[in-house]
Amino acid sequence: MGISADLHAIGRPMLDAQLAHPTVRGISAGDLPETVFRSWLEQDYLFLLDYVRVFSRLAWQAPDAHLGDLVDLAHATWHDELDLHRSLAAGFGADLDGAVKGPACAAYTSFLLESAADYGEGLAALYPCMWGYSTLGLILAADPPAEPRYRAWVDTYADPGFAALAARIAVMIDEAAPDPARARELFVRGMEHELAFWDVP
């Protein structure tokens, strides 16, 4: 079993905890209070800006065979995910430019940027975000919310193109072959950050 398959097995119970979180349940039902989603949207916007920086830091260390994938991941984050946030901002009254990182966002982005000092470890640390959101999107898309703004969120993360990018990271982790114990440690810490991130300030 490859490292990524091991991470999936470890991560699934932690993903179930996210599915049970009130914020995720509210998105799924389409009845999450707008104030909660606005706060989450601002925090995730700031997170994604640093997520692009993580990909950029990893690109400096990447083998040639992975470089294009990291460019694609950074591009998709900047143009697809951040465009979603920008498109939703006005409807929720979000102030993306004036937002300030809360503790969960600051802790998570610091963890990712520090982990990216090592190529294989950096991939393992960032994988919970891509794998987690892709899996959440696919699960929620089976019974999507009727509320169109929350439906747009689900559709973005259920998109097959996003799933393909997440799957490519799994292959890259296996090819980079970080120390398995260290990869598991960083992946679990990333999943813990993912769960904490739903506790919007």
Burial class for 98, CB neighbours closer than 10 Å (0-12, 13-18, 19+): exposed
pLDDT, residue 1, reads 63
pTM above 0.85, yes or no: yes
How many percent of the chain have pLDDT more than 70? Answer: 100
pLDDT tens column, 178-196: 999 999 999 999 999 999 9
Confidence band for 2, pLDDT divided at 50, 70 and 90: confident
pLDDT tens column, 117-129: 999 999 999 999 9
pLDDT, residue 125, reads 98
pLDDT, residue 147, reads 96
Domains and CATH numbers, the chain: 3-198 (1.20.910.10)
pLDDT, residue 200, reads 84
How would you classify residue 127: left for phi > 0, otherwise alpha for psi between -120 and 50, otherwise beta?
A: alpha
Burial class for 146, CB neighbours closer than 10 Å (0-12, 13-18, 19+): exposed
